[in-house]
Amino acid sequence: MLLARAIMEKSDHVFLIGEGAEGFAREQGLPFEDAAYFLTEARVVEQTEAKKRRAIGLDHAQEGEGKLGTVGAVARDRWGHLAAATSTGGVTNQSRGRVGDSPVIGAGTYADNVSCAISCTGVGEHLLRTSLARTAALFIEYRGMSAAEAAGAAIWLLVAKVKGQGGLIIVDRNGTCARAYSTPAMRTATAQNGEIRVATT
Ligand code: ASP
């Protein structure tokens, strides 16, 4: 987050990746962690198993209690400003150099005060191929759909076009929240006017 903010505020760019991003972070004096900081036993086991099977996959598509993975958030403040954020480890056993949908504005994450804020999860390649977040925002902006209609229509399109596995959460400019997904489940929670609601499927 610190690096994203520094890129926004202190560079002429929107998006830096790889060595260039790292170099920029060092120039800005941002804190670094050792690689070991990012390793957990569960993830190492998951990665080793996936390598053996020569498989890639969504960590949260696994059975049982291990449904931890991407966290997305969308928010509208009292002045109507909209924001979206998506945090992910990508997919298990992904190739070096892979960029998923999460950081790509318009694919996995999107926010514009005129329409809505959106965060997606799922197979990044499917979400990139359909520009899913921007597509859902366009449904609201130019077709006048409600948040729920746009979420449903975007997921319908994801499945129809690329047999996509994914989900998204939306908050629109009026503060209405919606979600839709083609994965077996997607856990969400909303906080509106002091009321918190949790959906576990
Ligand atoms: N969308 C992420 C990616 O493909 C994975 C996820 O949502 O869990 O990198």
In a domain, 102, yes or no: yes
Nearest-10 Cα torsion for 131, 135, 141, 146? -140
Decide if 181 is inside a domain: yes
Q: Which of 102, 126, 165, 187 to mutate to test the pocket of ligand 1 (most atoms within 8 A of CB)?
A: 102
Domain assignment of residue 41, yes or no? no
Domain of residue 180 covers 71-199
Rounded distance between C-alpha atoms, residue 188 and residue 169, angstroms: 8
pLDDT of residue 46: 87
| Per-residue confidence (pLDDT) for residue 185, from 0 to 100 | 87
Tell how strand 177-181 and strand 166-172 pair up. Answer: antiparallel
What is the atom index within ligand 1 of the atom nearest the CA of 70? 8
Instruction: Name every residue whose Cβ is closer than 8 Å to that of residue 68 and which is 6 or more positions away in sequence.
Output: 59, 60
Strands 177-181 and 188-192: unpaired
Residue 180 lies in a domain: yes
Q: Is 121 part of any domain?
A: yes
Q: Is residue 38 part of a domain?
A: no
* Residue 63: inside a domain: no
Cβ–Cβ contacts within 10 Å for residue 171, how many? 24
According to the model, what pLDDT value does residue 64 have?
Answer: 52
Looking at 70, 92, 121, 135, which residue is catalytic? 70
Cβ atoms within 10 Å of 144's Cβ, excluding its own: 9
The answer to whether the CB of 72 is under 6 A from ligand 1 is no
Give the whole-angstrom CA distance, residue 170 versus residue 186. Answer: 13
User: What's the rounded Cα separation, in Å, for the pair 15 and 169?
Assistant: 23
pTM score, whole prediction: 0.91
Cα 25 to ligand 1 centre (Å): 24
**182 within a domain of the structure (yes/no):** yes
* pLDDT of the residue at 67: 59
Total domain count, the chain:
1
Identify the CATH number of the domain in which residue 145 sits: 3.60.20.30
Q: How far is the CA of 56 from the centre of ligand 1 (A)?
A: 11
Tens of each residue's pLDDT in the chain, 201 residues: 899 999 999 999 999 999 999 999 999 999 999 989 989 898 889 889 999 998 887 766 555 555 567 899 999 999 999 999 999 988 999 999 999 999 999 999 999 999 999 999 999 999 999 999 999 999 999 999 999 999 999 999 999 999 999 999 999 999 999 999 999 889 999 998 889 999 987
**Active site annotation includes 70:** yes
Q: How far apart are the first and last CA of the chain?
A: 28
In the structure encoding, which two tokens stand for residue 49, read together? 């198993």
Instruction: Please count the residues of the chain.
Output: 201
